[in-house]
Amino acid sequence: MKPSMRTGVFVCSCGPNIGDKIDIEKIAAEVSGIEGVVLAETYGLLCSPDGKKYLAEKIAENRLDRVVIAACSPREHEVTFMKVCETAGLNPFMMQMANIREQVAWVTRDGKAATEKALKLVRGAIGRTSRHKPLEKSSIVCNPEIVVIGGGIAGMTASLLLADADRRITIVERTPALGGSCDNIEFVKDLTAKVSGRSEIKVVTGKEPEEIVGFFGNFIVGSGDDSIRAGAIVLATGCLENENGESVPSAGFSEIAEMLRISVDRYGFPSREHDSLAPVSTPIDGVYIAGCAGGSCDLRAAVSQAEAVAGTILSILVPGREVETEPRTSVISETLCRGCRTCMEVCGFGAISFDEEKFVCTVNSILCKGCGNCAGACPSGAIRAQHFTPDQIRYQMTGVLR
């Protein structure tokens, strides 16, 4: 341990959830002897308002530079405690959680064994934080423009509503003209005329997206020579009937789904964030479904979905809003990279590109989500997942196994 380290360990009882099974006092007492640990305390419910206040005070009072929180799953409260660290003036990446609830208290029957196991996890977390480095967050401004893929009833309805709110929209339509599958209905002809008359709406016909990269607030949709930037994407691609009389997505949709890395059902329709509670959202932030693109529906449903999508986008994609970028990205060492491009094959975010001149790969830190796939796959050990370095893993393992 570096002599200057000031680590604080907080063991949460989580009401009765952890405290009834694990001897948290024993854990606090045991780890307080570890070099670098200046404070080891227990608390009833750290995620409560009082708990967060207590935590922030302790960090400031004791000038802690590292924090270990033994509590629930990081999926539950990592963000909560990172925020507490930030308010207390500590870089949030100097905090590490040890999951002693889901991984121990709820699954290990014997109390003594549970305490032993929890102690190991806490030791591992202390070891890991000794190798943590502060990472800086940055944010980028959202692009308020919208790309609508498909110029049928749903796509046009959503576009017109968004245009009414002064948003700029690009409709990308595969066929040579707007209208979709109902283009001979009078009402659709009216819609087409309205869309054509709006200066806020740019219509690109005869083209399909060939590449989609980015995330909520900053998508780039490439089509031919065009590169359209937008903060949100509306899938309004409609559907078809196959030879068995089943409803299936329009031709070309599977490619779009693949570019967005969105999961699809057995017919190929995109999954929704929630069938009843979030029916026009997808699991991908900033990507929405309107009309038959999500499965066959009637006119009334298509229009109301288009309205819902427009409303959702206007409430979320507010001009000037900033989104934080992931600081836990991967970095590639130019001196170690051999340009084999294995990383590009395993990257799920299109975040790695190849530099022909230098014959090395580089990570776009804005697109990178820090999953670490590339670092694991690199045959030359040239990629480092920040916040998941070999050193951090080794110290965590040593802490657990010792």
Partner 1 sequence: MKGAALETGKGMKSILMDFMTSALEKGAVDSVLVHTRGPENTFPWILATDASAFDSAEPVPPVMSVQGGKALASFAQSMKAGKLLVIMKPCEARAAVELSKLEQIDLNNIILLTMDCPGVVPLSGFGKDGVMEPDVNRPDTIRPLCRQCTSFTMEGDVCLALHGNSPMLVPLTTAGREFLGSLGMETDSDDQSWMEWVNNLREERQQIRKESEAQLKDEYGGLNGLTKLFSGCVSCRNCRTVCPICYCRLCFIDMKDRRSPASAHLEHSSTAGAARLVSNTLLFHIGRMAHMSLSCVSCGMCEDACPSDIPIGRLVSMVSSNTTDIFGYSAGKNPEDPLPLNTFHLEELHEYED
Binding site for partner 1 (CB under 8 A): 335-342, 345-346, 356, 359, 377, 379-382, 389-391, 394, 398, 402
Closest residue by Cα to residue 269 from 230, 235, 299? 235
Nearer to partner 1, 276 or 335 (CB): 335
Instruction: Find the shortest distance in angstroms from Cβ 213 to partner 1.
Output: 21
Apex 9 CA angle, 8 and 11, nearest 5: 150
CA distance 135 to 321: 22
Of the two residues 184 and 335, which places its CB atom closer to partner 1 in the complex? Answer: 335
**Which residue's CB is nearer to partner 1, number 41 or number 391?**
391
Q: How far is the CB of 353 from partner 1 (least distance, A)?
A: 14
Q: Residue 295 or 339: which CB sits closer to partner 1?
A: 339
What's the N-to-C CA distance of the chain in angstroms?
A: 15
- Of 227 and 333, which has the nearer Cβ to partner 1? 333
> Minimum Å distance from CB 376 to partner 1?
11
**Shortest separation between residue 379's beta carbon and partner 1, angstroms:** 7
CA–CA distances in Å: residue 126 to residues 12, 21, 46, 72, 354: 15, 22, 18, 16, 38
Q: State the nearest-atom distance from the C-beta of 390 to partner 1, in Å.
A: 6
Q: Report the residue count for the chain.
A: 402
Q: How far is the CB of 267 from partner 1 (least distance, A)?
A: 20
Of 139 and 398, which has the nearer Cβ to partner 1?
Answer: 398
Give the span between the Cα atoms of 152 and 167, in whole angstroms.
19
Q: Between residues 122 and 154, which has the closer beta carbon with respect to partner 1?
A: 122
The nearest distance, CB 167 to partner 1, in angstroms, is: 40
Phi, psi of 102 (to 5 degrees): -60, -40
Report the nearest approach of partner 1 to the CB of residue 339 (Å). Answer: 6
The residue among 119 and 230 lying less far from partner 1, judged by its C-beta, is 119
Nearer to partner 1, 110 or 334 (CB): 334
Write the CB contacts of 283 (distance below 8 Å, at least 6 apart in sequence): 262, 263, 271, 273
In the complex with partner 1, which residue's Cβ is closer, 2 or 300? Answer: 2
Distance CA 93, CA 105 (A): 26
Q: How far is the CB of 113 from partner 1 (least distance, A)?
A: 22
Q: Say if CB 290 and CB 302 are below 8 A apart.
A: yes
The residues, any chain, with a CB within 8 Å of residue 249's CB and separated by 6 or more, are: 237, 239, 240, 257, 264, 267, 268, 269, 293
Q: Are 40 and 9 in contact (CB under 8 A)?
A: yes
Per the listing, tokens 């990629």 go with 383
Distance in Å, CB of 342 to partner 1, minimum: 6
